[in-house]
Structure 1
């Protein structure tokens, strides 16, 4: 049997059922819209750059240097719109099931800031000191930020990675990287 409801409990239930969701709750439930907005912005940026690109080489055939950026930009816009429509219709991304993480633990901001500093230092130093040295610092700094404490082995591995990457791109692939002081040596 159903317990007898009083007018006071009925009005409280109706008020809670009719109460509008708070703005934070709606945004939290539709957080995937942020990804959609980001994809849309990147698509507009890529498409805008592709359409304003000055091409000075002679184009042979219908496919030129603008084709791939235009296709990627249009693809990003389409995916952004489809994702937004899906989220607004109630679609949700599937939770990570394969990761062995504890979602109750806070973020490790020290590692994030160390990695950001290493990447920023690399971007600043690549011009003046060249890729081999800046790349060594990048690989070594990233290994340190991610927890490796092998102070004799890590710099050697980092230098090997940086030098082999420099040699591969500069000499084998023909993509010039700044050599810095080692320009004449390598």
Structure 2
């Protein structure tokens, strides 16, 4: 029989908890990094509630729900979710690692797609004024589809134009949100 000891061999003696060692605070923060999300949720909740409280409302309220109701609900919801998440993290809860079925975490970022989408969004922001939403929106939808990998050059522009016109008419006519029509709306 051999004589085995449960204590590690060496001058340091038994292993000490990480909190008692020199890097204890860093180790604790690293193990509870989700608390950063809690701080962000609390800050957003306080910001939304502060903004709702300082909102200047001149319109007469026509029912039990006024313009401050939604910001109050959203702000309180952010505070509640932040508190529940903080309790979960402090009780030992951990977020799951990325488990996407088609995501390879070892692959580098696809910067070509990111740059193409950025260019499409910036071009839409520049062109929406002079060309109007129907044309700029069609370019946005088609450019986004192209940047994300669609290569149906005969079908994609037609879908983008239809989607853009539908979105324009829904927002402009049904919802009462005026969008710039551009030269195309003078023809229609």
What band does the TM-score fall into relative to the shorter chain? 0.7 to 0.9
- Deviation, structure 1 residue 180: 1.9
Q: Provide the aligned C-alpha RMSD in A.
A: 3.0
Residues 29-44 of structure 1 aligned to structure 2 (within 5 Å) = 29-44=31-46
Distance 1:173 1:84 in 2: 39
Give 1:16 deviation, angstroms: 8.8
Indicate which of 143, 148, 152 corresponds to 2:145.
143
Q: Is the 8 A contact 2:137 2:164 kept in 1?
A: yes
Return the match for 1:67 from 42, 66, 69: 69
2:105 pairs, out of 89, 98, 103, with 103
Q: How does 1:15-30 map to 2 (within 5 A)?
A: 19-21=21-23, 28-30=30-32
In 2, the alpha carbon distance for the partners of 1:32 and 1:3 equals: 40
- Could you tell me which runs of 5 or more consecutive residues in structure 1 were left unpaired when the two chains were aligned: none
Cross-structure match for 1:116 = 118
Provide closer, same or farther for how the CA distance between residues 71 and 116 of structure 1 changes in structure 2, counting only shifts above 3 A. same
Partner of 2:10: 9
Structure 2, unmatched stretches of 5+, are none
Cα separation, partners in 2 of 1:26 and 1:148, compared to 1, 3 Å: farther
Report how far residue 76 of structure 1 moved.
Answer: 0.7
How far off is 1:173 after superposition? 2.6
Q: Deviations over 1:124-145 (max 9, x none)?
A: 3323321111111110111111
1:76 counterpart residue number: 78
TM-score, length-scaled by structure 2: 0.79
Higher helix share: 1
